[in-house]
Every structure is written in C-alpha cells, then in structure tokens.
Structure 1
Amino acid sequence: MPILKKTGIRSTFFPDGSTQQQVEGAEHEQREDVSTSDGKNDDNNIVLIAFEENDPENPLNWSKGRKWLTTTLLNSMTLIIGLSTSAYSPTTDAIAEDLGVSSEAAIVGMFTFNAACSVGPLFLAPFCEMVGRRYVYLFGFFAFTAVFPMLAAGTNIGTMIVGRLLSGLFGCIGTILVGGTLADIWVDDERSVPMSQFTFVAIFSTIAAPTYCGYIVERVGYRWVEWVHMIASGTLFLIELVLFKETRGATILAQRAKKLRKETGDNRFRAPIELESESVKMLLHKSCTRAIMLLFREPVILFFGLWIALAWGLVFLFLTVIPLTYAGNHGWSTGNAGLPYIALMIGCVLGYISGYWSDYKYNQATKANGGRGVPEARLYGAMFFAPFFPIGLYIFAFTQFSFVHWIAPTIALVPMIFGIYHIFLATYNYTSDSYGEYSSSGIAGQGLLRNMLGAVTPLFGSQMFHGMGYQFAGLFVALLATLLAPIPYVLFFKGKTIRAKSKFASATTGLADEQHDTVANAELGNTVQEEKTAGN
C-alpha cells in the first residue's frame, strides 16, 4: 500500500456511499480503503467529501458578523449598479445636444442597458456552477467599473450605446445572483430580513439617481455623472476584492477536494459538484431553455411575470415622464425636475417597512400549518397594498394640468411605487415558495419579461405622453395596471388548485408527488438541485 501524505483539512468522507465517518487530520496511511490491493489508487472508487457538522467553512455556519458583512457588500454592489442604471436618464438631452443626435437616439442607451440585463442572466448565471460566485461577482463588477471611462469620454453615440450595453451585461450580477447568494449563507427562517433589504436596495437605487444627477448635469456637465459613479464603483470593487468570500458551499467543497488531492496524493477525493459537472454548452442550454419553458408553460409564472413587467416598465417610463411633465407643466429646470423622485424614495421606504407586516402574516400562516410554509400567505402584502399602484397612476394622470399645484402629482408618486414594491415582494416570494428547485429558472423567465419591457418603455414615453396628452396617457397605463390587479386575489383563493395541477410545483408545498417530480426533471433535463432563490 502506498504511503500517502497527512493533511489537516477537515472533511467528512463517504468511501463506499453508505458509511459516514468523521475524520480529523485524515491520517490516510492507516486506512485500508483508500487504496486498492495492488498498491495503486483506484480512481473508480470515489471518496466524496462533505461539510462536517458545525463546520466553520460552511457558509450557513458563518458568524452573524460575517453573514451581515457579506449581505452589506452585496447590497452595496446592487446600490451602485442600480444608481448607474437610471443615472443615464437625466443626461440624455445633454448627450443629444453635445453629440448632435436626436433625443430618441440618446435614449437608446436606456434600451441597451435593460435589454442586456434581460438576457445576461441566462448566460452569466451558469458560470456560478463552474467557478463559484466570488469570481463571477468580481469579474462582473470589475468589467462594469471598467466601462465607465467609455461612457464618460465617448465622442459619438455609437460608443455611448455600446457602453450602456456592456454596463447592462456586466451589471446584471447585481440582481440575478444576490438572491441565491443570500440563500447560501442564511437559513430559511433568517432570510426574510436580508431579502427584504436587498429588494429595497434594488428598487430604491433605481429611482434615486435622478434626484442628484440632474444637478451634476447642470453644474459640471453630463460626463461627470459617469466619472462620479466610476469613482464610487471602483472604490467598492477594491473593498469587495479584499472582503468578499466565496459563499457557494458546493464550490468550497470542490476547493477542499482539490487541496486534499494535492496534499495526500490520492486522486479519488471528490466533491459532489465534481461528479455532476457539465459542459459550458449544456449549462447554457439548460439555463436558457428552462427559463423560457417555465415562463410559457406555467400560468403562475407567466401572469406574475406580466404583472412585474408592467410595474418595472412603468418605473422606467416615468424616468422619462417625470422630468417631461414637471418641465412642461411647471417649467422646472433639469435639476429641479429630479426632485419629485424623492416621493418615489419615500414610497419605497414605506414599502420596506410594511413588508415586515407581510412577513408577520406569512409566519402566522406557517405556524398554523404545522410549520410548513403556505405560498399563498406570501400574497397578503400584494392584496392589501398592490392596489395603490393603479390608484397612484389615476391620481397622477388627472393632476397633469399646469393650474394644479405640483405637490398633487408628486404625492401620487408615493402610492404608485408603494404598490410596485409589494408586487416585487409577492412575485419573488410566491414563485420561490411554489416552485422550489425550479424557482430560479422561473424568476429568470420573469426577469426576461421585466427587463425587456423596462428597456422598451423609455423609447416611446415622450411620444406617448405628447401624442395622447399627459392625462390620457396616464389614464391608459392606469387601466393596464387595473387589469392585472386581480392576480394576487385569484392566486390566494385558487393558487393551491393551480399548483396541484403543475408538474413543476415544488414538492416542499406538499402538492407535487414523486411522479410529477420525475417527469418535471426529465422534461427540463435537470438532475441537479438548483438554489432555491436567485437576483433578479
């Protein structure tokens, strides 16, 4: 039998797939089962490793301080990316004038950013399965930061449009991966507060940038909008580079297995993910086809996708409409026309606070159900608060007259974003609870709809409100919001029946039997457990 080196790596070994032995120090020369009788390692006799109980390297066992540090780093990244998303909107008129193009051409940069965000997750997310989250985050955020000089110093509209496309492609990491990363480090009953904070930051950052970017454009020019955000993004990247650690347990185990092989000379040590590894082509194929398949085959995912798409589309529509209406009706300057966004920020804060009531109702329903989660209980917030979305739109529409004081439409923005906030919470939480291992694919499909509509609406916002008139254009979008308002009520009363008929409904809800799970896995070509939640 060969003499193998000692290692101090703590691991749990499963040499025969049935016996679990706790090993510390791993003194392999004393173990008969790590080598074959002829003195050679048998690579067919795999030794799987797993985390020990209370293993400090398991992200779920990290200290509260480390978990909150990681959560803060993730939210900070989302904040910077979200601010940069909408910071471009106040600069479009200045870009058009400086580069000698139409305002419509300048607005295309808004389209390319969101369009890239809609398809980017389908291509970037699978790489987490190959290299882990840390490298994807750091590479994506570094590339996102590196694009700012291209936008700040661009001398033609093509450069600006391509720069925004690249920003959206790399910046989508701030939404698509964060949910899954929080699931890596927080157990289910601790995750609601970190997830609520992430949702708040994602929405708040998108609507906050116009409040100050208009003044930057007026005082020092539109190019400094990009330089300011580059400085903030670059500083944060250096902090992330030092403090952000790998959170994906499967990747940590793969790294541990690699160290064991190197230190012991035994090539049979493997992490489970190494046995499940797939080619890049297969990962990309699964990522794209699963999301689209669920989007069009599952009514719950489709209608929630349409609802959140309308909400997000209107957020970006109003990035164009708010300065337009306040400048047109009240003669406000570029800088002052960004101040009404403060009302949106207030509505977002109120949404975050009221979200704790939604969590309370969900916890009550879970206790009443013997500790098993009830997906429909995630809809209380949407049923009570989402109707404020169309209500705010109606008020905004019918206060669009120059003789009406500016405070009236500004107040209307508060209930509008308040309702949108609860649409986001309901969509992501209900989809995650109902579809379990398939939820990340379902949310990716909804994200495709959401970001594509968010990409399109700024292209026609100005023409729509000028052509139809401020009042009737506002009425039109309010009617669309009203049309989709019954969704949470229908699912609250009929959701259990709908889920029971779904092949892909999560087995954790107690409605999908083994046969359904087998069929669903076969149809999706998915034999690997996905993370329960995903970014957005």
Structure 2
Amino acid sequence: MSVVAGSISNVAATLLKFSPTAWIKSWLLYVGIQTHVRGTIDPELKPLHNVCEYLNALHIYTDEARRGEVRTVESYHFCSHVRKDLRQCLIYDSCKPDARLIGVEYMIPKSKYLELPEEEQKLWHSHEFEVQSGMLVLPTPETHRGQADKWEKLETQALSEVVGLYGKIFHFWQVDRGDELPFGMPRLMGSLTEFKQLNVDEALKDRDERFGVSVQHKREVRQGIEGPGIPENADSWWKEAKKQKLDSTSSSTTNVQHDVADDQGDLEKQEQGERARSQAKDDRIKVEWDDDDPLNPYNWKFAFKCWVTLQLGILALAPSFGSSVISPAGPAIARNLGVGEEVTVLNVSLYVLGFALGPCLWAPISEVWGRKISMLPPLFCLGLFSIGTAVSTTPASVFITRFFGGVFGSAPISNVSAALGDFWSREARGTAMSFYAICVVGGPTIAPIVGAALTEKLSWHWTEYVEAIFVFSVFALTIVCFPEVYPPVLLKRKAQKLRKETGDNRYYHPHEDLKIDLKSIVTKELSRPLLMLVTEPMVMTIAFYASFVYGVLYMTLEVFPIVFQQNHDLTLIEASASFLGLFIGVLFALVINLGNQPRYIRKVRESNGKPVPEARLPPMAIGGVVFTIGLFCFGWTGTRNISVWAPLTFTLLIGAGFNSIFQQCINFLVDTYGLYAASATAANTFLRSLMAYGLPLAVRPMFAALGVGPGMSVLGAVAAVAIPVPFLFMKYGHNLRQRSRFTPVDKE
C-alpha cells in the first residue's frame, strides 16, 4: 500500500510542473498529499486498532486530595490490552472528533501490583469504589441501542475484571480549569474510595443525562461484584489525608504529640467504622413502586387524573390571565400617574420578561422538592405583588411589582407541562397538553375583555385586585385539593413512611440525598439551554418560530386598540371584545391538534413506543399557512373604510394558527430531546419571553410609521418565510437528530 501511495504521490508532484491551470494544480496537490499521508500513516494506526474498551469515570487530583480537597475531571478512556497483565488507556476530555488528549492510565492486576516497590505502590489507585458505586460506566455503543439489558450484562461482566485492577494515571492538560494548552508538569491522578469524599450522584447527574444511564441503578446491578481487597499502599493520598486530619484534630484538642503507634491505631479504628458505615449503606433497600401501587401517579383513576389536570390548567391560567388583564388600562394609568401611553406598554412587557427569568429558579425547586411546593408558594407571592401593583402611586412601583409578579407567576406556567408528564402516558399526554395550552394562551386573550370592563366601570386598580382575588382563590383550592405528582418525591415519602412504620432504617430512596445545587442550576437552566439555542439547528429554528408567534400574540394587545378603537371608533369594552375572536380561534386549533393524535399514536406504536417527533408536525404545517393568511388579511382589512367584521373574522385565523404552531413546537422539542427536553424547552421559554417583551414595545412606532396594513405585512412576511419549517423537519428531521449530540436516536 505504501509503495503504491508513494508512486501516486510522486506522479502527482511531477504533473504539477506541467499543469496549465491553477485548479488542476490544486487538485493534483490534494491527491498527492492525501495519498502520501494516508500511505505513510495507515500502517502506524495499528496500535489504535487494538482499542477495545471505552470507559467513562471521574478522576481526582491526588496532591489536592492529600489536603482533603476534591477536584474532579470527567475522563473518557479508550483502552487496549497490551498483554495479559497490562492495559493502557488514552484519556480524552470528550468523545467528539475535536476531543483533547489529556492523560494516560495504565492498569495491572493485584498480583503484578504486589511485586512493585513500596514507594511505587503508593502511586497506584484501586477501582473497587469506581465500579461498585456506579461511577465507572461503559457507554452504550450504537450497535446496542435499544438493547440496554443485553449491554448492561456485558458491561457488568467487563467491570468484574476491572474491579481487580490497579491504575496509575497522569494528566498533563487541566481542561477543567480552562487551560488552552497542556501547561506545566504532568499531574498524578487518582479516584474516589468512599461516598463521603463527594456527592457522586450529584456530580454525575449531567453525565447520566448525556449517556441515558443512572448511577444509582448501576450501583444496584453491581452489588454482586466483589473486589480483591485494597492493599495498604494503594490510594495512599486518601490515607494521608485522613492521617493529617486526625493529627490536626488531636493537636487542637489535646495539644499533645501522640506517638506513631497511637495514630495508626486511631486511623485503623476510623477506617473500620467507615467500612461498617459503607457496608450499612450497601445493605440499604431502595424503595420502588409496587405492582399497581396506588401511590404511583400513573396508576391513578382516569377521573382523578382529569381532576388534577383541571387544577393544573387553572394554575397556569391565573398568571397568564394576569399578564394582559392590565393592558386595556394603559391610557387610564398614563393619566393617573402622569406618563405617556407608550410607557405603559411596560406593564405587560416587564411582566412577560419575568417569565424568562423565573424558570431558572422554579424548575430546580420542582425537581428537588416537588411540583406542589414549586408552584403554590410562588403563586401566593403573585397575588401579593398584584395587590402591590393595585396600590402603587408611582410608575416605578407599578413596573417593579409587575416584573416580580411575572417572575413568581412563571412558576406554574413553567412547571405545569412537566407535571402533566408525571401521570399521563406519552400517548395521552398530547391530549392533556392541548387543554393545558388552552389555559396558557386563553388567559392573555380573555383577560383584556375583563380588564376593559373593570377599567371603564370601576378603575384601573381593580384589574389587579381581581387578579389577586383570582390567584388567591386558585391557591386556596389547590393547597387543599392538589396532590403531589412528582414520582421521586412520592418515593422519598414512601421510604420515610416505611422507616417509621417498620423501624427499619435500611429503606431509602436516592432522591433523599438530592439538594439544590447552584452549579446544576447554572448548567441545566442557563448554560445548557443557551448552548442548545445557538448550536442545535432544531432548537434554534423551532424556538424562534414558537417565540415569534408568541410575541405576535402579545403584540395584539397593542394592535387591536389601534384597529378597533382608533380606526373603527369602538369603545374600550367593544374593542376589547375583539379578543374573543382570538380565543375562538385558539379553540378551533384544539380540533386540529387533537385530530392528529390518532396518527401520532399509530406512529409511536409502529416505532415500539419510541417518540416520533416528525409525527407532531402536520398541525404545525396547517397552522403556519392559516397564521400567515390571518396576519396579511387582518392588516389589510383593518382600515376605516372596511367593515369591522372583516378584521374581526381574521382574528380567528390568527388564533387558530398561533395555537397549532405553538403547541406542536413544544411537543416536538420534548419528543426530540428526551432527557434534555427540560433544557430545550427552557431555551424556548427564554427566547419566547424576550420576544413577548420586545415586540409589543415596537408596535406603536412601527404602526405609526408604516400603517396597519404594511406593519402587519412585515409580520406576515416573517410568518411566510417560516411556513417551510415543518415540511423541512418532516423530511430531514431524523437525519438532523442523528447528528445532534443531545438527541437519543438510533442510527438507521
């Protein structure tokens, strides 16, 4: 091969001298380089062909561990068997094509380890805790997608060998601290040896989501894997850390220098106690759902599920109602507080801006403490801030209370969709989500009618008083009737109840150890959603489409008064009644969305229960066309010389198109991104809230400069450009999902 490649390379180099054109020269140069490089490298790739294992685990810096500090690095091992008693691993910071080589590890069996000099033995670490804790995994390869049980057996078998090996690791690139190059000398690395050194479950939470595994489940499966015992000199850094801690404690309490024998005895006692505690931890009984367990939300009766869904819908309706109930009061607020009408648009915009920031807090709370506590206390706070707005006497106090009302009001809106998934199956969830969407988008369309009547008959203050009354009424109902639906929290309570009833403290559930973690909040709720928004074409496109139509919905709060009050001389209440057209259109969309459910269920069953995101898109395709027609026709019939019934009719198309698009965008993201659905929908929530914040602010300047027809045509043009989106994803969606690092999809 190398002879042939070399000959081709030489011929190409010779022909370059006589090539008449630059492009031929370039092509010949490419051929020459490719054949030469491939010909000389291929034989040297043989060592890499010997790689037979792909492992993932955490490494720690041993010099810091000696001081009792823990700094971890997630490491991707590509290991080969050099000989029977030696394995070597190349360690990378990821498994992507541009992964950086950050270290190496060598593994030997215990018999070989015991032959090493004493000082050399202190440089090696054991693998017992790595294997038994579930920290070390062999990620499922593409060849075994959909065969998790089969792969897990192979993994367990492989790790039964690894548990008896001892490793020596050097890292020469500290990517975890952001080094752009491998600075300084190599660092000796090690591993963890017990749970108290690090909250392993929390540290591996992100890794588990990426690979679709559970460290707790791995721990259970590997209970039968026993190690050969850890020699005295292995994991020396942890023993030194314990000894230093013991010396420091003894010195501070007694101020007496103990001899070495006493220290060693105390150290052995401490280790014995730790082993006993570790054994007790291994003997724990993990609480799971029993067959037909009545506590399991999936086993609730259909009627009760409907009752809970109704409560969730009302929970979402209350804050969405509050977003626009104050919009008709803009002129009254301007007169009362002495500001321009264009400034009062902030009453709605700042409230919706709070929707963008609130989920960063409420989503983690719901995952740790449950859905009920993440929604009801914030809802109560929304009621308080609504009263605060009602009694405000300055523009600043109105805007501040509205913003924080949005922050707290976002809790039900952001968590209700997740709560529905806690007790409805995937096949039934689409129907439940349809009724939930009616509440979310119905609030902003009905509220202006109520707000107009209150403003005209009483005063603008009553728009917020009524919102507070509504919120407190919903709070009173749900605090009594709404059950917790989040399964991990229910299992935690079940474990606590079993311990109390039986007196057996071995009953536990991993959720009991879960805590609110700032790092997790930053990663899951901020950095990862933003990363997906800018790097994932599907998230970027779908989020923009959903955000655009959501922003248009809130633009109507400013556009409708221009069309129906200024152009058609209707009263405040009459003009606000036009929002009924939007709401009726939203209800029509329910027929479109539910009409697609039988087809979607059929597609899911054909794929053996796996989600089929592309099957969600036909209603979006219909909605895109209807929405675009509605925008253009509404704009060009909204003039004074055309009957008011014409633009009113086309509000139905806007409402129907909006809901068809918006709901299927959410469903598509959830189906596509699986474990990362929360991050994908968070990216959508963030962008749509920014759109709903900014677009209403542009209405008055844009329509004053362009007029209603051209202004709506600008929006219609954007909507028209987006019409092909569902069709493109129906055709190319599966290929895009295969290329994404966040989507769990089989390579077909």
Give the alignment's TM-score, normalised by structure 1: 0.85
Counterpart position of 2:454: 216
Are 1:83 and 1:205, in contact at CA under 8 Å, matched by a contact in 2? yes
Larger CA deviation: 364-373 vs 83-92 = 364-373
Counterpart position of 2:372: 134
Counterpart position of 2:403: 165
Are 2:622 and 2:657, in contact at CA under 8 Å, matched by a contact in 1? no
Q: Does 1:323 align with 2:526?
A: no
Greater Rg over alpha carbons, structure = 2
Equivalent of residue 344 in structure 1, options 582, 592, 596: 582
Q: Distance in 2 between matches of 1:291 and 1:92?
A: 34
Counterpart position of 1:448: 686
Counterpart position of 1:414: 652
Equivalent of residue 540 in structure 2, options 277, 285, 302: 302
Equivalent of residue 17 in structure 1, options 200, 220, 229: 220
Counterpart position of 2:329: 91
- Note closer, same or farther for the CA distance 1:298–1:39 as it changes in structure 2 (3 Å cut): closer
After the TM superposition, which residues 39-188 of structure 1 pair with which residues of structure 2 at under 5 Å, given as runs?
42-43=280-281, 45-188=283-426
Amino acid at match of 1:177: N
Alpha-carbon distance, 1:364 to partner: 3.3
Counterpart position of 1:528: none
Alpha-carbon distance, 1:511 to partner: 4.0
Counterpart position of 2:228: none
Are 1:125 and 1:176, in contact at CA under 8 Å, matched by a contact in 2? yes
Q: Does 1:431 align with 2:669?
A: yes
Q: Distance in 2 between matches of 1:345 and 1:387?
A: 18
Are 1:41 and 1:267, in contact at CA under 8 Å, matched by a contact in 2? no
- Note closer, same or farther for the CA distance 1:282–1:497 as it changes in structure 2 (3 Å cut): closer
Q: Distance in 2 between matches of 1:37 and 1:263?
A: 28
Counterpart position of 1:504: 742
Are 2:635 and 2:713, in contact at CA under 8 Å, matched by a contact in 1? yes
Equivalent of residue 240 in structure 1, options 478, 486, 495: 478
Equivalent of residue 364 in structure 1, options 593, 602, 606: 602
Q: Secondary structure of the equivalent of 2:292?
A: coil
Amino acid at match of 2:373: Y
Deviations 1:409-439 (A, max 9, x none): 1111111121111111221111111111111
After the TM superposition, which residues 230-269 of structure 1 pair with which residues of structure 2 at under 5 Å, given as runs?
230-264=468-502, 266-269=504-507
Q: Secondary structure of the equivalent of 1:504?
A: coil
Aligned residues: 484
Amino acid at match of 2:613: P
Q: Distance in 2 between matches of 1:44 and 1:366?
A: 39
- Note closer, same or farther for the CA distance 1:320–1:444 as it changes in structure 2 (3 Å cut): same
Q: Distance in 1 between matches of 2:491 and 2:309?
A: 22
Amino acid at match of 1:89: S
Alpha-carbon distance, 1:39 to partner: 11
- Note closer, same or farther for the CA distance 1:382–1:18 as it changes in structure 2 (3 Å cut): closer
Q: Does 1:312 align with 2:515?
A: no
Amino acid at match of 1:17: E
Are 2:624 and 2:657, in contact at CA under 8 Å, matched by a contact in 1? yes
- Note closer, same or farther for the CA distance 1:281–1:372 as it changes in structure 2 (3 Å cut): closer
Are 2:390 and 2:465, in contact at CA under 8 Å, matched by a contact in 1? yes
Alpha-carbon distance, 1:370 to partner: 5.2
Long gaps (5+) in structure 2: 1-215, 224-273
Q: Distance in 2 between matches of 1:38 and 1:475?
A: 74
Q: Provide runs of 4+ in structure 1 moved above 6 Å.
A: 36-41
Deviations 1:295-314 (A, max 9, x none): 11110010011111110111
Structure (1/2) with the larger strand percentage: 2
Counterpart position of 1:519: none
CA RMSD of aligned residues (A): 2.5
Equivalent of residue 383 in structure 1, options 621, 640, 645: 621
Counterpart position of 2:444: 206
**Percent identity between the two aligned chains:** 26
Counterpart position of 1:394: 632
Alpha-carbon distance, 1:198 to partner: 0.4
Alpha-carbon distance, 1:367 to partner: 4.2
Q: Secondary structure of the equivalent of 1:401?
A: coil
Q: Distance in 2 between matches of 1:377 and 1:438?
A: 19
Considering Cα pairs closer than 8 Å and 6+ residues apart, tell me whether 1 or 2 has the greater RCO: 1
Q: Distance in 2 between matches of 1:57 and 1:406?
A: 55
Amino acid at match of 1:145: G
Q: Distance in 2 between matches of 1:408 and 1:39?
A: 76
Give the alignment's TM-score, normalised by structure 2: 0.62
- Note closer, same or farther for the CA distance 1:44–1:489 as it changes in structure 2 (3 Å cut): same
Larger CA deviation: 492-501 vs 39-48 = 39-48
Q: Secondary structure of the equivalent of 2:286?
A: strand
